[in-house]
């Protein structure tokens, strides 16, 4: 008993010591992520209060959809915070277990709960008494939204267990769809649906109301399937490292410029297209590896290789990162 009590006391002291020196600036950025997720949920409740039990009329729809858009954009703003907090922590050498746990808790709010609530609200707007586009199956719609949120929690917990290292090298590839990408897919679809109320959008000239209605009908299924992708073991590349890290070819640069210009003109279409393409990369890479085997270690960028070199100070060997430039392929 004395030994057990001593062990618990030691663990408690270690925990208190760790909490006395938490990373300040990276934690503020992470809390900005959680704050945006909270505001997104508040915006959804504002929209729900505005609708009440009334039908979603043509006069009411633009005001409600404007609040949905604001909630969706807040989730995308949170993704910027989520991308920055880890970078800042590594640059300032402030990577800690506290920061990792705080990041996961913030992600649960912003990329698990908020998108599920937002999608559920969009579904509710199109079933009785608000609309008649969807049949009244409240239990089924609740189930799809709840599974998305719970699968996001499971995905984040698994990530914390499988990725003990805080280094950037441990985040080159994900097992299962990352929760920010899952949230981006759902939110980009909802933002695209909201475009039907804006007559200035080219989207309304390219897509008929039938397309929007079909997307709304399939929204519960998309919510469920996206949740399944999160808890799958399909390989998903790290988007930021893949696109922005290392050297790229000239055609890749030209394509990036084209996408940026197109995104400035019709950002909803580009956003939804990019999210859909990223969702497909997991199954495509998984099928490729299933039939051809192995793990593709190639790429257009630079590779970091950890090697042992002689310490110039005469203290034996030390591990360093050596930059490897990709050579020409046959």
pLDDT at position 285 over 50: yes
- Diameter of the chain measured on Cα atoms: 79
Which helix (H) or strand (E) covers residue 321, if one does? strand 317-324
Q: Residues 56-78: pLDDT tens digits?
A: 776 688 889 999 999 999 999 99
pLDDT at position 247 over 90: no
Asked if 147 and 107 touch (Cβ cutoff 8 Å), the reply is: no
Least confident piece of the model among 69-73, 81-85, 89-93: 89-93
Place 239 in a pLDDT band, splitting at 50, 70 and 90. Answer: confident
Highest mean pLDDT out of 6-15, 59-68, 138-147, 256-265: 138-147
Instruction: Identify the pLDDT of residue 199.
Output: 63
Q: Is the dihedral of CA 117, 123, 126, 128 positive or negative?
A: negative
Which DSSP category does 326 fall into? P
Asked if 327 and 300 touch (Cβ cutoff 8 Å), the reply is: no
Instruction: Identify the pLDDT of residue 297.
Output: 42
Whole-structure pTM value: 0.80
Instruction: Identify the pLDDT of residue 327.
Output: 43
Place 221 in a pLDDT band, splitting at 50, 70 and 90. Answer: very high
């Amino acid at each position: 008993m004395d030994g057990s009590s001593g062990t618990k006391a030691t663990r408690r002291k270690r925990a208190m010591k760790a909490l006395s020196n938490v990373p300040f600036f990276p934690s503020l950025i992470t809390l900005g992520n959680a704050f945006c997720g909270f505001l997104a949920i508040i915006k959804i409740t504002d929209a729900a209060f505005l609708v009440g039990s009334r039908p979603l009329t043509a006069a009411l729809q633009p005001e409600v959809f404007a609040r949905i858009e604001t909630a969706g954009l807040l989730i995308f703003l949170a993704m910027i915070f989520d991308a920055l907090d880890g970078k800042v922590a590594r640059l300032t050498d402030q990577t800690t277990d506290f920061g990792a746990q705080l990041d996961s808790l913030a992600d649960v709010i912003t990329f698990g709960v908020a998108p599920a609530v937002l999608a559920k609200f969009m579904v509710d707007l199109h079933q009785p008494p608000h609309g008649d586009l969807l049949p009244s199956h409240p239990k089924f719609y609740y189930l799809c939204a709840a599974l998305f949120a719970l699968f996001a929690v499971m995905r984040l917990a698994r990530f914390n267990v499988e990725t003990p290292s805080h280094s950037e090298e441990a985040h080159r590839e994900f097992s299962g769809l990352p929760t920010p990408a899952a949230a981006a897919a759902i939110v980009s679809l909802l933002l695209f649906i909201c475009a039907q109320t804006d007559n200035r959008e080219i989207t309304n000239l390219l897509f008929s109301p039938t397309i929007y209605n079909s997307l709304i009908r399939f929204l519960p299924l998309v919510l469920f399937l996206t949740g399944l992708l999160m808890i799958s073991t399909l390989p998903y590349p790290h988007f930021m490292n893949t696109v922005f890290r290392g050297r790229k070819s000239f055609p890749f640069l030209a394509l990036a410029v084209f996408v940026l210009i197109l995104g400035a003109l019709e950002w909803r279409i580009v956003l939804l297209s990019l999210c859909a393409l990223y969702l497909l990369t997991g199954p495509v890479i998984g099928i490729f590896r299933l039939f051809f085997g192995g793990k593709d270690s190639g790429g257009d960028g630079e590779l970091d290789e950890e090697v042992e070199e002689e310490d110039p100070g005469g203290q034996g060997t030390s591990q360093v990162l050596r930059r490897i430039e990709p050579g020409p392929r046959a």
